[in-house]
Amino acid sequence: MRKSVAPAKPGATDLSFLDKVRNRIKDPFFWSDWLVVVAFIFVVAVFGIIAPEEFLTLWNLNNILVAASIPAIIAVGQTFTVLTAGIDLSVSSTMTFGAVTFGLVFTNSWPLWQCVIMGVIAGTVVGLLNGLIIAKRKINDFIVTLGMLSVASGAALVLSDGKPRQVISEQLSTLAIGEKANVPYLMMVAFVIVLIAHFVLFHTRFGTHVFAVGGDPESARAMGISVVKIKVAVYVISGALAGLAATLAISRIGSAEPAANTSILLNSVAAVVLGGVSLFGGRGTIFGPFIATLLLQSLANGLTVIGVAAYYQYLSIGLVVILSAALVRTDQ
């Protein structure tokens, strides 16, 4: 005999759905995931309304994508370190060190592909040193990477004698200005890196271990995960991507500059924070920081279009980072 079921009250299903929506809206993690998307749409809409003939032109939108390509790659590397409750303050100098290494071998007539590899290797070495000192010696990541920022910057100045190395290459010029279907090649490279990083984090055992180490290193260690190896690996990834970003930077300016661009560091941290990655580790995505990079570049570009001075742009980005960090802190 079938068990009788009382008829559902009218509107019960709707009420349940509304409750779910309310709970979702009240969930701070929901906003940490989607706030950056809403903010990006809002910024584009505002500048599109204020200056549609300048901001929404295909040429200007293309410029935003080009400007976002290098910070996006750096932000991916930064995301890996922050997911393990760390941070890499040396990324800007690491990129500079990679660029100088690229420039040195290029001026010695090395093939272009070998120059790219040498730039990546240079960045990887810096990342490896960071990881080994932090994980093996158990020294605070903030102190180590802050010190490495100075070391890598100094090494770049010593190797280059403080002078930029001109890099003239037809292939690099094509990379810098080329596009397909109105999407710049530089952004294509960045997006491929984003897709690969997303796959690694969410579809491999290594990615699972990264989240585990960031969430609770002691529990991860009890599960047989090598916390030291994971810590070293994420800093190696950050360094390698900074070295790769050096090639993109050289393609844009046509030379290997020995002076570090500190805004790269600020933008990478800002993108990670805005992208919803927990500063305490164990939670985050790759696409969040990527969209945050687009947001930051759109904000800077839009302020330039409407005539706001550059120093106000730095002020606005800094305030956005502080506000976002405060919001993320309340989610923990």
Three-state secondary structure string covering 195-222: HHHHHHHHHCHHHHHHHHHHHCHHHHHH
Name the 3-class secondary structure at 184.
strand
CA distances (Å), 318 to each of 142, 206, 327, in order? 19, 33, 14
- The whole-angstrom separation of Cα 279 and Cα 269 is 10
* Cα–chain center distance at 327: 19
H-helix segments, 84-169? 91-106, 112-136, 141-160
Q: Write down the pLDDT at residue 6.
A: 47
- The whole-angstrom separation of Cα 292 and Cα 39 is 9
User: Which residue ranges of the chain lie beneath pLDDT 70?
Assistant: 1-33, 327-332
Q: Write down the pLDDT at residue 13.
A: 46
Report the predicted TM-score, pTM, of the whole model to 2 decimal places: 0.89
Per-residue pLDDT tens over the stretch 28-76: 566 666 788 988 999 999 999 999 999 999 999 999 999 999 999 999 9
Q: Which fold has domain 37-331?
A: ABC transporter involved in vitamin B12 uptake, BtuC (1.10.3470)
Percent of the chain with pLDDT over 90: 76
User: Do 116 and 229 contact (CB within 8 A), yes or no?
Assistant: no
In one-letter notation, the amino acid at residue 180 is K
For tokens 């580790």, what's the residue? Answer: 281
User: Do 110 and 118 contact (CB within 8 A), yes or no?
Assistant: yes
Six-digit token string for 228: 């030291």
In one-letter notation, the amino acid at residue 197 is A
Name the 3-class secondary structure at 164.
coil
Q: Write down the pLDDT at residue 313.
A: 77
Six-digit token string for 316: 């606005």
Name the 3-class secondary structure at 323.
helix
CA distances (Å), 246 to each of 137, 249, 297, in order? 29, 5, 19
User: Do 279 and 328 contact (CB within 8 A), yes or no?
Assistant: yes
Q: Write down the pLDDT at residue 211.
A: 97
Strand locations in 195-302, DSSP E? 255-256
Q: Write down the pLDDT at residue 31.
A: 60
The residues facing 179 across adjacent strands are 184
The residues facing 184 across adjacent strands are 179
Q: Write down the pLDDT at residue 329.
A: 56
Six-digit token string for 178: 């080329």
Six-digit token string for 245: 């970003």
Q: Write down the pLDDT at residue 331.
A: 52
- The whole-angstrom separation of Cα 249 and Cα 241 is 12
Q: What would the DSSP string read from start to end of 48-106?
A: HHHSHHHHTSHHHHHHHHHHHHHHHHHHHHHHHHHHTT---TTHHHHHHHHHHHHHHHH
Q: Write down the pLDDT at residue 315.
A: 84
Torsion 14-15-16-18 (CA) sign: positive
For the chain, domain boundaries:
37-331
* Closest of 36, 82, 40, 130 to residue 269, by C-alpha: 82
